[in-house]
Amino acid sequence: MATSFKIGYAFEPNKKTFITDAIVDKSKQRGIDLIKIDTDKPLAEQGPFDCILQRLSNEIRIKQLEEYSSLNPDVLIIDPPSKIEVLHDRYSMLHCVEDMMKMNGQENEIGMPTFGIPKQVLVKDVHSLMNVNAEGGLKLRFPLIAKPEMVDGSMQSHELSLVYNLNALKKVHTPVVLQEFVNHGGVMFKVYVVGEYVKCVKRNSLPDISEEQLDLEKNPVPFSQVSNKQSQEHSDHMSNEEMRIEDAVMPPDSLVTCIAKGLREATGLHLMNFDLIRDSRISNHYLVLDINYAPGYEKMPSYESVLADFFCDLRKRKRKVKFYSLFRQMLCCG
């Protein structure tokens, strides 16, 4: 009987895991053993593992994982903490998209889809806030999306808000990433990446904002309030909202695949998703808004099978590396 491929998975105790019983069973049927790692015990006392799937944020546990990896270099780490780190900073995470744009040149034929990122700026302190759209300043246009700079897993780091005008901007907490809000028809495209697998799905998004609305709110408005207000206003017309999402044209597969491939290569990560919108101002132009590591895959269609396939790909990859390593040793000895 063939030896099973052992994948240990380590998640913080207070964080939800996407490794469900269904995934464990489906993987086991294909010769993959998913083993929960006890994060309160030394990693060296557990295993052995062929691969470790991790979503750790505790510094002590991360250091333990890195020490284990240095002593066991043949164990695949999905994904190394050092590579995930770039997605913890909301400002720098989109730099890889800019790098892709430079490499591609964005010199596509007329009518071909293009992509980019919204205009954004990092504001470190309160005194710099008023320079955001002041004369001679950075001149971002309202409305703006205000995002805490760092993604650290706390509730505060996920508190995004809409800023309609200067009065509201004065009340934004720093450090903050300010991003121009772009009308996009109230539909967002969420793209899941699992290894080389890419899946794009439609999601409801914030509604378009008119010039007339910019003077209505004097405070930053949390996304949750915008969403709740939208739901209340359209509670009797939910079918219209569903129809809008249904009627939205999906971005071309070639574009989605191109962006996903570029992000994989730029970050070195296997598990992520990114948010994509179609810019209402420019025909066939898309914007990458956000990139998340190892998101809630349970919302992705057929996610159990997709993850099981990914684990099998990891096994194949490791066997290939092992084969070539043995082959080189034979050549050296010969």
Q: What is the pLDDT of residues 192-219, one digit of tens each?
A: 999 999 999 999 999 999 999 999 899 9
What gap in Å lies between CA 124 and CA 321, rounded to an integer?
45
Q: What is the DSSP string of 292-327?
A: EES--GGGSTTHHHHHHHHHHHHHHHHHHHHHHHHH
In DSSP terms, 157 is beta-bridged to none
pLDDT tens digits along 284-302:
899 999 999 987 788 898 9
Per the model's pLDDT, the better-predicted residue between 283 and 111 turns out to be 283
Lookup result for tokens 């179609």:
278
Lookup result for tokens 């300043």:
137
Lookup result for tokens 């808000």:
161
Amino acid 123: pLDDT: 92
User: Of 250, 259, 245, 249, which is closest to residue 291 (Cα–Cα)?
Assistant: 259
Average pLDDT for the chain: 87
User: Of 154, 88, 97, which is closest to residue 120 (Cα–Cα)?
Assistant: 97
In the predicted structure, residue 106 carries a pLDDT above the cut 90: no
Torsion sign across C-alpha atoms 19, 25, 31, 35: positive
Residue 37 CB contacts under 8 Å (≥ 6 apart), including other chains = 8, 9, 10, 43, 46, 52
Instruction: Copy the structure tokens of residue 299.
Output: 């919302």
Q: What is the DSSP letter of 238?
A: H
Known binding residues are: 15, 90, 147, 158, 179-190, 205, 275, 290, 292, 296
pLDDT tens digits along 81-94:
999 999 999 999 99
In the predicted structure, residue 314 carries a pLDDT above the cut 50: yes
In the predicted structure, residue 60 carries a pLDDT above the cut 90: yes
In the predicted structure, residue 110 carries a pLDDT above the cut 80: no
What gap in Å lies between CA 142 and CA 119, rounded to an integer?
11
Amino acid 235: pLDDT: 52
Known binding residues for ATP are: 90, 179-190, 205
Domains in the chain, please, with CATH? 5-79+305-332 (3.40.50.11370), 87-293 (3.30.470.20)
289 close to 277: Cβ distance less than 8 angstroms: yes
Amino acid 84: pLDDT: 95
Known binding residues for 1D-myo-inositol 1,3,4-trisphosphate are: 15, 147, 158, 190, 292, 296
In the predicted structure, residue 142 carries a pLDDT above the cut 60: yes
Amino acid 227: pLDDT: 61
In the predicted structure, residue 231 carries a pLDDT above the cut 60: no
Known binding residues for Mg(2+) are: 275, 290, 292
What gap in Å lies between CA 195 and CA 76, rounded to an integer?
13
At residue 270 the predicted structure's pLDDT band, cuts being 50, 70 and 90, is: very high
Per the model's pLDDT, the better-predicted residue between 2 and 253 turns out to be 253
What gap in Å lies between CA 171 and CA 327, rounded to an integer?
63
The terminus-to-terminus CA distance of the chain in angstroms comes to 32
Amino acid 299: pLDDT: 86
At residue 239 the predicted structure's pLDDT band, cuts being 50, 70 and 90, is: low
Mean pLDDT of 31-52: 94
Amino acid 274: pLDDT: 97
Amino acid 326: pLDDT: 45
